[in-house]
Amino acid sequence: MTPSLSLSASPERLPIGALLALAMTGFLCIVTETLPAGLLPLISDGLGISPSMAGQMVTAYALGSVLAVIPMTIATRGWRRRNVLLLTILGFLLFNAITALSSHYGVTLAARFFAGAAAGLAWSLLAGYARRMVAPHQQGRALALAMVGTPIALSLGVPLGTWLGGLLGWRTTFGLMSALTLGLIVWVLVKVPDYPPQPAHQRLSLGKVLTTPGVRPVLAVVISWMLAHNILYTYIAPFVASAGLGDRVDLVLLVFGIAALVGIWLTARLVEPLLRKTVLLSLATFAAICGVFGVLGHLPEVIYLGVAVWGLSFGGAATLLQTALADAAGDGADVALSLNVVAWNSAIAGSGVVGGVLLDRWGVAAFPWAMLVLIALSLAIAWGARAHGFKPGARSMGKPLASGH
C-alpha cells in the first residue's frame, strides 16, 4: 500500500470540479447506453430496420461493456490514469460520431459495441479515480459525488434524448453527444489531476482478486440487488399500467430519479461512518417496498409513494457497493471494479430475460415476489459478510487506497 495517497487532496475540501468531471463521464456512459430506447421508431425508420433490430443497439452496447472491461482494465493498468480516462472519453467521441453518420446497420452495431467497451473501461476507472483524489476518510463522499451523474442520466437521459430526437433527428442527437465529449476532454485536462500507474509489484491477478476475502460476497450482492432492481425498472411501464398509470410512466420515473438523487445525498453522509448499516437498511427498505407492491401495487398512490422510497433506497447503491468492493480488494481494486462492471451489466441483461419470462407466464403481479426473494438473498449475504465485505463501524480508519487507483 502507498499511504502517501491520503495526501493527494486537502483533508477538508473535496476537489469538486474534478469529481464533477468524473460524474459527467458517468452521465455520458448512461445516456449513450439508454439513448436508443427513446429513439427506436426514428432509428428504425432511418436505417430501414425493425424496432426490435434497432433495440439490439442497446444489447451491443451492454455486450461491449461486459466482454471488454476486464481485458481492457488489465491492459491499461500500466498507463497513467488520466490517459486511460481520456481514452474512454475519446471512445465516446469517435463511436457516437460513427453512430450518427452510419447508414449501415452492421457498422452501427459495431460502433455501439465499442462505445460499450469504452463505457466498461470508464466504470472500472471512475470509482478508484475518485477515491484517489482525496484522503481515506473522504473516499465515500468523493465517490458519491462522482456517481451523481448516474441517477440524473437514468431519470432524464431517455426523455431528454427522445425530446431531442423528435426536435433534431436521432443522428443529430448522437452527434450532440459527441460534441459534448469535446467539452469534457477540456474539462478533464484542466481540472482532473493525473496519477502514475500502479507499480507492477502491486498488481494482483484476476484469480487473486476473486479469492480476496470479501470480494465475492460484495459481487454476489451486486448481482442479486441489481437483478431485483432492474426487473422492476426495465418493466416499469407494464407494472404501473396495472395501477392505471400507463400514461404516466414519465412522471413515475421522474419521482424515482428525484428520490435517487436524495438517496445519493444521504449516502454521501452515511457511507463513511455507517456503510454496513446503510447497505442493510437500503436492502431491508427495498424488501419492504417489494412486499407492499405485492399486496397493494394496484393502487396509484401506493405506486408513487413506493417508487419514491425505492429510489431513495437505491440512489446510493453504486457508491455503497463500489466503496465496499474497493475496500475489500485493496491493491486489486481496479480489477475488482472491472468485475463489478461485468456483474452489474450481467444483472441488467439477466433482468430483461427473467422479467420477460415472469411477465409472459404470470404477469406483473409476479414481479414483487420474485424481487423479494432476490433482495432477501442480498440481505442474507450482506449480513453474513461482516468480517470482510461489509464491515461494521466507521470505514475512515481502514487501509488507504493502493496507488494503482
Instruction: Give the tens place of pLDDT for each residue, 61-79.
Output: 888 988 988 899 888 888 8
User: Are residues 93 and 162 located together in one domain of the fold?
Assistant: yes
For the ranges 121-125, 143-147, 258-262, 294-298, the lowest mean pLDDT is seen at: 143-147
Is 155 among the domain residues? yes
pLDDT of residue 252: 87
Whether 215 and 147 map to the same domain: the answer is: no
Q: Is residue 366 a part of any domain in this protein?
A: yes
Using the 3D structure, point to which of 145, 169, 201 is the last residue of a domain: 201
Q: What is the CATH number of the domain that holds 92?
A: 1.20.1250.20
User: How many structural domains compose the chain?
Assistant: 2
Specify the range with the lowest mean pLDDT, choosing from 56-60, 154-158, 265-269.
154-158
230 plus 306 within the same structural domain:
yes
Domain span at residue 242?
206-384
- Residue 7 pLDDT more than 70? no
pTM value is 0.79
**C-alpha atoms less than 13 angstroms from C-alpha of 385 in its C-beta half-sphere:** 28
The predicted model gives 245-249 an average pLDDT of 83
Are both 240 and 369 inside the same structural domain? Answer: yes
On whether residue 390 sits in a domain, the answer given is no
CB 395 within 8 A of CB 323: yes
Read off the pLDDT band of 369 (50, 70, 90).
very high
pLDDT of residue 234: 77
Distance CA 355, CA 361 (A): 10
The pLDDT value recorded for residue 12 is 65
Please state, rounded to an integer, the average pLDDT across all residues of the chain.
86
Amino acid found at 212:
T
What does the pLDDT look like over 92-131, one tens digit per residue?
999 999 999 999 999 999 999 999 999 999 988 888 898 8
The three cell numbers of residue 388 are 470482510
Angstrom distance (rounded) from CA 217 to CA 384:
9
For residue 397, pLDDT beyond 70: no
Whether residue 352 is found in the same domain as residue 215: yes
- 181 in the same domain as 269: no
pLDDT of residue 204: 65
Q: Does the pLDDT value for residue 398 go beyond 50?
A: no
* Residue 395 forms part of a structural domain: no
Residue 388 has pLDDT above 90, yes or no: no
Q: Please check whether residues 119 and 247 belong to one and the same domain.
A: no
Q: Which of 201, 221, 243 is the last residue of a domain?
A: 201
Model pLDDT, residue 34? 80
- Give the pLDDT of residue 39: 79
Are 54 and 194 within one domain?
A: yes
Supply the pLDDT for residue 200.
Answer: 64
How far apart are the C-alpha atoms of 68 and 115, rounded to whole Å?
Answer: 11
399 pLDDT band, cuts 50/70/90, is: very low
User: What's the CA gap between 299 and 303, in Å, rounded?
Assistant: 6
Per-residue exposure over 207-244, b if at least 16 CB sit within 10 Å of its own CB, e if not: eebbebebbbbbbbbbbbbbbbbbbbbbbbeebbeebe
Sign of the alpha-carbon dihedral angle for 127, 133, 134, 135: positive
Same domain membership, residue 144 and residue 270? no
Distance in angstroms (rounded) separating the CA atoms of residues 110 and 123? 20
Domain co-membership, 190 together with 263: no
Q: What are phi and psi of 50, to 5 degrees?
A: -75, 160
Give domain status of residue 391, yes or no: no
* Residue from 24, 48, 41, 249 nearest 152 by CA: 24
181 and 41, same structural domain?
A: yes
Residue 112 resides in a domain: yes
Q: What is the pLDDT of residue 162?
A: 74
**49 and 165 together in one domain:** yes
